[in-house]
Amino acid sequence: MMDKAKPLPTYLVQRYHGWKATTWVENKAWYKRLAEDGQRPRAMVISCCDSRVHVTSIFGADQGEFFIHRNIANLVPPYNPDGEYHGTSAAVEYAVTTLKVAHVIVLGHSSCGGVKGCEDMCTGHAPHLEEKSSFVGRWMDMLKPGYDRVKDIADTATRTEALEKEAILISLENLMSFPFVKSLVERDEMTLHGLWNDIGDGSLEQYDPATRQFLPI
């Protein structure tokens, strides 16, 4: 029996009541419709857990517009139907096959702690992440091939940013290993997008396959 859960801290309770008395009251017909008719998001966004990345604010989205999945460093693992627990893969499957989203967006960002952890691990500066018991370390193993592609960049800041963008590209590549994603993309019935957000200046870049670069939007 779970006996360790506690009541919400006061500041969150106050914020909830503020939201319920204002935003909810002003939009209660919309919330009622969402509850009764179900969700029909046009896009899935796979984003980092980082609290500084506010997906809905960036795009001015309302509730019901995005199906959002967040994890460390916005990574998507390769398709691997081994019968084990796969949170990200389950979210992708549900978004694509049940909700039938039209777009899947991988949103990376600057100053990503997960990406920095991978960089530290690859350079021997994070032995704790090398431990088999480290969930973060084993998750970030996915990004090691990306580090191999950028490791010769001399400038540290430039190399880290390049690795953040490699996380996006690896996720896009892995998305295409899912048969139900690949078939829809190849039939032009769904699109994939790679975005990188500079959380300091608010800029947004998108991956352009023609130039193999991230270009400003």
Label residue 206 by pLDDT band (50, 70, 90). very high
pLDDT tens string 69-120? 999 999 999 999 999 999 999 999 999 999 999 999 999 999 999 999 999 9
Task: Judge residue 186's burial from the number of C-beta atoms within 10 Å of its C-beta, 0-12 exposed, 13-18 middle, 19 or more buried.
Answer: exposed
- Beta carbons within 10 angstroms of residue 68's beta carbon: 18
Domains of the chain, residue spans: 1-37, 39-216
pLDDT tens string 13-69? 999 999 999 999 999 999 999 999 999 999 999 999 999 999 999 999 999 999 999
H helix or E strand, kind and range, residue 108:
strand 103-109
User: Which CATH number applies to 39-216?
Assistant: 3.40.1050.10
- Beta carbons within 10 angstroms of residue 57's beta carbon: 8
pTM of the entire predicted model? 0.96
> For the chain, how far is it from start to end, CA to CA, in angstroms?
51
Q: Residue 1's pLDDT is what?
A: 87
| Nearest alpha carbon to residue 207 among 105, 111, 56 | 105
- Beta carbons within 10 angstroms of residue 190's beta carbon: 21
Kindly state the DSSP code that residue 65 receives in the 8-state scheme. S
Kindly state the DSSP code that residue 7 receives in the 8-state scheme. P
